[in-house]
Chains A and B, each alone.
Chain A
Amino acid sequence: MTSNPYQDDRGNKDRSITRPAATHMGDPVKPGGSAVRVEGENPFLIGHEMTGGYGTGADILHACTIAVEPGEIAVIVGPNGAGKSTAMKAVFGMLNLRDGHVLLDGEDISALSPQARVGKGMGFVPQTSNIFTSLTVEENLEMGAFIRRDDISPTMEQVYTLFPILKDKRHQAAGELSGGQRQQVAVGRALMTQPKVLMLDEPTAGVSPIVMDELFDRIIEVARTGIPILMVEQNARQALEIADKGYVLVQGRNAYTGTGKELLADPDVRKSFLGG
């Protein structure tokens, strides 16, 4: 699998002496890069013609472009294995880009590590392991705001207003909550940095349809506060209904792009992805 001898632990899985780390980070951009200001009219956040894959592996994305403007909800949909999550990870710097670049608010941030992008105002909610299970809800939110040195209580109040259930459970360990509540904690944690853009990787994965509708309502509320939202969704139909902009990816390429309504009305899109 890997040629690095330090990463070979074949036959050494003894949990009483080592604690395996879960890795979801993909292939993060190394720290140390800097952002470059670029001239001209560009969308608020755009991953422009991104091409790349994990490590030295084959390319997963091929000249894929994703963009979102303030106040908008942009949704990435597509069949399994289309590279939806990969495209979002590429925007967030968790992928080795061989071509293309990522612009945020007039700056080229392609060389920034994911952590530095958080500092620049990107909020990211991973699909799995997106909360600190052993910490309380309130501690989760505090950790979300770790990079901030100012008073975080107003932001925390905002999150509690958005997700009232979290206020009731704020002293409970986040791992004890239900699936939908965990997702609320995850989104709340990302909101604590007061991000300029929020990226959600399948926020409704594994929750019941009722909870899903509620989560979508909350996401619309977040968007109404002016934060642009970029979202990967498995439930294409519902997601496109709330989307201002939709991207249908197929095999790492932009297949169809348009407003949510256009895509829902497009016979090709309907036939291929929405089940008629």
Chain B
Amino acid sequence: MDFLNALVALLNFVIIPATAYGAQLALGALGVTLIYGILRFSNFAHGDTMAFGAMVTILVTWGLQAAGVSLGPLPTALLALPVGILATGLLLIGTDRVVYRFYRAQKAKPVIFVIASLGVMFIMNGIVRFIIGVDDQRFADGERFIISARNFREITGLDEGLAFRTSQGITIVVAIIAVALLFWFLNRTRTGKSMRAFSDNEDLALLSGINPERVVLYTWLIVAALATTAGVLYGLDKSFKPFTYFQLLLPIFASAIVGGLGNPLGAILGGFLIAFSEVGVTYAFRKVVSYLAPEGWEPEGLLQLLSTDYKFAVSFGILLIVLLFRPTGIMKGKTV
């Protein structure tokens, strides 16, 4: 019985939250890795792209809520998500037209793009704060729990409760669908294959008649969809605050690099690796160990390796170790 309680506590506080967080990071890292693979630079504006997409979705959600539209037990934000994706797609294509296309025409070195994306980041950041403000915004509605802690205790008779929030369930399901769609697109469609070909060998892609501007356009649209989805899921799961999204850039980049930049499978793996280590290292294991330890052996301390304030240090610790021992990332990156 105690072993079961320990397992439930572990599921409740580590495995479920880390899986949801990992799915959000994976979606974010997929966007980063696609831009790196195809446009050849690290897009520092990615966190704020997520914030922009989430912001538009929130505004539409509020509109829908005011109009009395709802999805029943599911959050209304899912209904607003396509609008958010569309708006973000337009923003990214607009940014490409105004900023990145100029540098492409100049055949600028990738590092110039990186710095340009830093500027884009600040502008997007400003736009989001200007429109929605810097404060926390809540927009989750519908049923809060798939399984609530109390129900779980009543059903199983265990001491430990297990809460499985709707937002967590939706995050996992949506992430699986998004990743399946992305992989189907990249591996099965002509356009997807041309994007991989362009990423693999730009010159040969040109000689094969693949239009680079078209590849770039599709890349931004896919990135917009991934970033908005990741942003909305994160906002539903936690809360929306522009600054948090700016900070999310760090674990997202860590995920993409750890998994192998340019490799979509690696981005997913990296996302979960970072999420599980972040949650695992900053969780106080006292409760779990108390259930497992013999009578009278309960630990006195919290059994927490690091305070949650240091969670970003975990991502970077892993990043350093991976880069030292396997510089191309776990899944050997560089190409999509």
Do these two chains interact?
yes
Interface positions of A (Cβ within 8 A of B): 4, 6-9, 12, 14-25, 114-115, 118-119, 124, 126, 129-135, 139, 142-144, 146-147, 189, 193
CA distance A87 to B303 in the complex (A): 71
CA distance A131 to B208 in the complex (A): 11
CA distance A115 to B211 in the complex (A): 9
Q: Does B46 contact A (CB under 8 A)?
A: no
Q: Kindly report which residue of chain A lies nearest to residue B263, judged by CB atoms.
A: A134
Which of A133, A139, A143, A144 gathers most chain B CB within 10 Å? Answer: A143
* One of A9, A135, A189 near B111 (C-beta < 8 A): A9
Q: Is the CB of A9 within 8 A of B112?
A: yes
Q: Is the CB of A18 within 8 A of B113?
A: yes
Q: Does B171 contact A (CB under 8 A)?
A: no
Q: Is the CB of B41 within 8 A of A18?
A: yes
Q: Does B114 contact A (CB under 8 A)?
A: yes
Q: Is the CB of A16 within 8 A of B261?
A: yes
Interface membership of chain B positions 206-237, coded 1 if the CB is closer than 8 angstroms to chain A and 0 otherwise = 11111000000000000000000000000000
Which residues of chain B are within 8 angstroms of A18 by Cβ–Cβ distance?
40-42, 109-111, 113-114
Which residues of chain A are within 8 angstroms of B103 by Cβ–Cβ distance?
6
A114-B207, A146-B208 known; A19 vs B201 contact (CB < 8 Å): no
Tell me, rounded to whole Å, the shortest Cβ–Cβ distance linking B112 to chain A.
Answer: 6
- Interface-located stretch among B1-9, B128-136, B190-198: B190-198
Interface positions of B (Cβ within 8 A of A): 36-37, 40-42, 103, 106-114, 190, 193-194, 196-197, 199-210, 257, 261-262, 323, 327, 334-336
In the A-B complex, the 3 residue pairs with the smallest Cβ-Cβ separation, listed nearest first, are: A18-B110, A147-B209, A9-B109
Q: Is the CB of B207 within 8 A of A21?
A: no
Q: Is the CB of B41 within 8 A of A19?
A: yes
* One of B110, B208, B336 near A20 (C-beta < 8 A): B110
Which residues of chain B are within 8 angstroms of A25 by Cβ–Cβ distance?
203, 206
* One of B36, B204, B205, B327 near A19 (C-beta < 8 A): B36
Which residues of chain B are within 8 angstroms of A9 by Cβ–Cβ distance?
109-112
Q: Kindly report which residue of chain B lies nearest to residue A189, judged by CB atoms.
A: B208
Tell me what chain A mostly uses at the interface: helix, strand, loop, or mixed.
Answer: loop
CA distance A129 to B202 in the complex (A): 10
Q: Is the CB of A130 within 8 A of B109?
A: no
CA distance A276 to B111 in the complex (A): 52
Q: Is the CB of A129 within 8 A of B203?
A: yes
Which residues of chain A are within 8 angstroms of B327 by Cβ–Cβ distance?
15
Q: Kindly report which residue of chain B lies nearest to residue A174, judged by CB atoms.
A: B200
* One of A4, A143, A193 near B205 (C-beta < 8 A): A143
Which residues of chain A are within 8 angstroms of B207 by Cβ–Cβ distance?
114-115, 118, 124, 126
14 contacts between A and B (CB under 8 A): A4-B106, A6-B112, A17-B42, A18-B40, A19-B110, A25-B203, A25-B206, A118-B207, A129-B201, A134-B336, A142-B190, A142-B193, A146-B210, A189-B208
CA distance A70 to B204 in the complex (A): 25
CA distance A114 to B42 in the complex (A): 29
CA distance A144 to B199 in the complex (A): 15
CA distance A210 to B194 in the complex (A): 34
CA distance A131 to B257 in the complex (A): 26
Which residues of chain A are within 8 angstroms of B196 by Cβ–Cβ distance?
132, 134-135, 139
Q: Kindly report which residue of chain A lies nearest to residue B107, judged by CB atoms.
A: A7
Which residues of chain B are within 8 angstroms of A4 by Cβ–Cβ distance?
106-107
Which residues of chain B are within 8 angstroms of A8 by Cβ–Cβ distance?
109
Which residues of chain B are within 8 angstroms of A139 by Cβ–Cβ distance?
193, 196-197
Q: Kindly report which residue of chain B lies nearest to residue A117, judged by CB atoms.
A: B207
CA distance A23 to B203 in the complex (A): 7
A19-B36, A135-B196 given; 5 more Cβ-contact pairs under 8 Å: A6-B103, A24-B203, A124-B207, A129-B201, A135-B200
Q: Is the CB of A115 within 8 A of B206?
A: yes
Tell me, rounded to whole Å, the shortest Cβ–Cβ distance linking A14 to chain B.
Answer: 7
Tell me, rounded to whole Å, the shortest Cβ–Cβ distance linking A202 to chain B.
Answer: 16
Which residues of chain A are within 8 angstroms of B210 by Cβ–Cβ distance?
143, 146
Tell me, rounded to whole Å, the shortest Cβ–Cβ distance linking B35 to chain A.
Answer: 10
Q: Kindly report which residue of chain A lies nearest to residue B257, judged by CB atoms.
A: A16
Q: Kindly report which residue of chain A lies nearest to residue B103, judged by CB atoms.
A: A6
Q: Kindly report which residue of chain B lies nearest to residue A147, judged by CB atoms.
A: B209
CA distance A131 to B109 in the complex (A): 24
Q: Is the CB of B203 within 8 A of A146?
A: no
CA distance A140 to B103 in the complex (A): 29
Tell me, rounded to whole Å, the shortest Cβ–Cβ distance linking B188 to chain A.
Answer: 10
Which residues of chain A are within 8 angstroms of B336 by Cβ–Cβ distance?
134
Which residues of chain B are within 8 angstroms of A114 by Cβ–Cβ distance?
206-207
Q: Is the CB of B203 within 8 A of A16?
A: no
CA distance A93 to B151 in the complex (A): 72
Which residues of chain A are within 8 angstroms of B194 by Cβ–Cβ distance?
143, 146
Q: Is the CB of B209 within 8 A of A118?
A: yes
Which residues of chain A are within 8 angstroms of B106 by Cβ–Cβ distance?
4, 6-7
Which residues of chain B are within 8 angstroms of A134 by Cβ–Cβ distance?
196, 199-200, 335-336
